[in-house]
Amino acid sequence: MLPSKAALTRSTILDAGSAFLETRPFRDLTVGILMAATEYSRPTFYLYFNDLHGLLETLLDEVKGGIVEGAQAWLSNESDGVSGLQKSLRALVDVGYEHGTILRAVSNAAPRDSRLEHVWETFLSSFDEVVSARIEQDQAIGVTPEFDPLPVARALNRMDAGILINAFGAHPKAEKEEVLSAITCIWLATLYPFDAQLVVGDKSNGSA
């Protein structure tokens, strides 16, 4: 369908958008500015995208894959929970570090457009379901405490999204390891409390 010229133009525009968002927030992006960074005129933009939100939708698609892939370590029950989760969270932080500016742009733009909002919301909640499913399995074999898995999964996922965007969405980016430690600490404490705190657990206190 897109033989050659068109595909090239389209990808030129995408690159210009990507590059812009690397250094400046979405609110500063206009179709005029975007196309001025290319060889093309402003109307050309509308041949390839409905609007700036459509462009972001495309950019998000390119990131999606990496995130889903990294999550597999834990979601597929290959390795045990703790180390699989650690691996997946590391992969998540890597992707977030790499594509943080795109994620931030999408998250920033989503509230301005009903369609993009839906895409973003769907993207986020898609993880809620699979995480919740994994939690249920671990609860069934007793390695994870009993609690309603879906809302907890949702909370943990929103935390990840919020932190990744906050830490890596703009320059200067936060320390990768610091972020990883923090979210790993919380996920492990919540899902695998019997494994995680063995190193420290001695002082007990008699709280009311």
Partner DNA sequence: CATATTTACTGACACCATGTCAAAAGACGC
Partner DNA sequence: GCGTCTTTTGACATGGTGTCAGTAAATATG
Residues that bind its own copies (CB under 8 A): 25-27, 79-83, 107-109, 111-114, 141-143, 145-148, 151-152, 154-156, 158-159, 161-163, 166, 178-179, 181-183, 185-186, 189-190, 192-197, 200-201, 203-205, 207-208
Report H helices in the chain: 5-23, 31-36, 42-48, 52-75, 81-109, 114-140, 149-168, 176-191, 193-196
Choose the one of its own copies, DNA, none that binds residue 9, judging by a C-beta under 5 to 8 angstroms depending on kind: DNA
Task: Give dist(CA 122, CA 116) in Å, integer.
Answer: 10
Select 4 or 122, whichever has its Cβ closest to its own copies. 122
Report in angstroms how near the CB of residue 117 gets to DNA at its nearest.
15
* Residue pair 143/194 in contact by the 8 Å Cβ criterion: yes
Mark residues 37-56: x for contact with DNA by CB under 7 A, - for none: --xxxxxx-xx---xx----
* Residue pair 61/55 in contact by the 8 Å Cβ criterion: no
Task: Give dist(CA 163, CA 93) in Å, integer.
Answer: 10
Report in angstroms how near the CB of residue 200 gets to its own copies at its nearest.
5
* Residue pair 88/71 in contact by the 8 Å Cβ criterion: yes
How many residues touch DNA (CB under 7 A)? 19
Select 11 or 83, whichever has its Cβ closest to its own copies. 83
Chain-centre distance for alpha carbon 37: 28
Binding site for DNA (CB under 7 A): 2-6, 9, 30-32, 39-44, 46-47, 51-52
